[in-house]
Amino acid sequence: MNPPEEDQAPNVASQGVTLVRESASPRDHLGGEILTVNFGPQHPSTHGVLRLIVDLDGERVMGVKPVIGYLHTGIEKQMEALRWQQGVVCTDRHDYLSPPINNLAYALAVEQLLGIEAPPRAKVLRVIMSELTRISSHLVWFATSGLELGCQGIFFYCMRERDFILGMNEEISGYRMHTSYIRPGGVMADATPRFLDMLADLIEKMPGHIDEYEDLLTHNPIWIARTKNIGRLPAELAVELGASGPVLRAAGVAWDLRKDRPYSGYEEYDFDVVTAQDADCYARYLVRVGELRQSVRILAQALKKLPGGPFNVDDRKVLPPPREELETSMEAVIHHFKLFTEGYSPPAGDIYQAVESGRGENGCYIVSDGTHKPRRVHFRSASFVHLQALERMAMRQMVADLIAIIGTADTVLGDVDR
């Protein structure tokens, strides 16, 4: 680790106490050494199996080295062994807090290679699922960050709402979490009337719930003391280090893939890109609260404009025919057979598709060689990039602030390690 450079004057000087020497670190006149501490992979506050090797000068962090790979699942290799339509199942599981958004990146990439486009109803349903997922992912963020910094109450409030949203997932797809709902060609199933009722209920009640969370945290002096001026990542540094999502928007850069590189019909919705100016942990918290409100706004618009029509593209070479047709049409049987034994083969080429997840830019890069299995699937992970920026955010902060900083970077280790 690099030796500490010249220290700034400690805060105590501003309170009128004269020091023996100016710009002295306690280590200079007390002796001692840099202590290397292991935040092991099993730790309650590292948001998953992240290992940090931290160099400490007393309580001050002098260096952080994240060691990852404890959740490496070989998803990219696994997808090379599965057919294109089977790969959707694996895309759910790398960023496990936002499965439909990962599905969407993969589905959009495959659709571009195949040269097909999802019908309008499917696009709106995709937006609904993406925004629901963004809300539920941010709720987990509120719950765990609050819990780590001492606010245990918000965990219970957020999980209550998240249970409701997972119930909606279950209503529309049968699964609470890994829905595999968004697939190349459209979506898995149509929205049931009960799902639409639950959605209307959520849109009505969610702003009140967000006010509850804000009551607990936004003006809470403990929360402010633990997150204000902690972990600053100013705008130029954030762009240089590849940050995206709330980490970038909290530095004042109004970059949101939904507005700047829109997909799945996002250009038709009216919503704001929430930014903050301070680039610290508190700013990232404010950005996420704002995003919750904007997501509810998008959901209200999507519910109103949900068009009728098919929820899948009508291309029998990509999606199987409805089961009733198998009794009457020979062609339908052949299509069904071909799809479920061999699967479709997109033409050779490569596509990079990025979508805006709760963490930032999650991208899917696929390479097809013209066969029914991918040659290469790579996931660009926002958490992977943010972990690299961790050392710059945490340098010279207290070790307890390190927890707050990892929390606000909102890393999901499944996404980092894939």
Partner 1 sequence: MTTDQLSLPEWVEAEGVVAGQHWIQVPRERIRETLTHLKSQGFGSFCMMTAVDHLVTPVAEPGPERFELVYQLRNMSTHTEVRIRVFVPESDPAVPSVHDIFGPANWDERETWDMFGISFGDHPDLTRILMPEDWVGHPLRRDFPVGGEPVDFSEDHETWQTAPEEA
Partner 2 sequence: MGVEQLYDLLGENVLTTTIGKLVGWGRANSVWPAQFGLACCAIEMMHTVAPGMDIARFGSEAFRASPRQSDLMIVAGRVSQKMAPVLRQIYDQMPEPKWVISMGACASTGGVFNNYAILQGVDKVVPVDVYVPGCPPRPEDLINALMILQEKIKAQGIKPLI
Return residues touching partner 2 (CB under 8 A): 40-44, 48-49, 69-75, 77-78, 81, 89-90, 93, 96-97, 140, 143-144, 155-156, 159-160, 162-163, 166, 176-178, 413-414, 417
- Reference 257, options 376, 397, 122, 362; nearest CA is 362
Is residue 256 within the footprint of partner 1 (CB under 8 A)? no
| Residue 174, binding choice from partner 1, partner 2, none, Cβ under 5 to 8 Å by partner class | none
Rounded (5°) CA angle 94-98-103: 70
Rounded to 5 degrees, what are φ and ψ at 61? Answer: -80, 125
Determine the size of the site formed for partner 1 (CB under 8 A): 43
Is residue 81 within the footprint of partner 1 (CB under 8 A)? yes
Using the minimum distance from each CB to partner 1, give the nearer residue, 336 or 372: 372
| Residue 89, binding choice from partner 2, partner 1, none, Cβ under 5 to 8 Å by partner class | partner 2
At closest approach, how far in Å is the CB of 301 from partner 1? 23
Distance, in Å, from the CA atom of 387 to the CA atom of 415, rounded to the nearest integer, reads 11
Among 24, 159, 177, 367, binds partner 1 (CB under 8 A): 367
At closest approach, how far in Å is the CB of 146 from partner 2? 13
| Residue 340, binding choice from partner 1, partner 2, none, Cβ under 5 to 8 Å by partner class | none
Q: In the range 370-409, which residues lie near partner 1 by CB under 8 A? A: 370-371, 375-376, 378, 380, 384-385, 387-389
Q: In the range 113-142, which residues lie near partner 1 by CB under 8 A? A: 113, 115
Is residue 365 within the footprint of partner 1 (CB under 8 A)? yes
Using the minimum distance from each CB to partner 1, give the nearer residue, 195 or 255: 255
Distance, in Å, from the CA atom of 260 to the CA atom of 278, rounded to the nearest integer, reads 23
Binding residues for partner 1, rule: CB under 8 A, are: 68-69, 72, 74, 76-78, 80-81, 112-113, 115, 239-242, 255, 260-261, 348-352, 354, 361, 363, 365, 367, 369-371, 375-376, 378, 380, 384-385, 387-389, 417-418
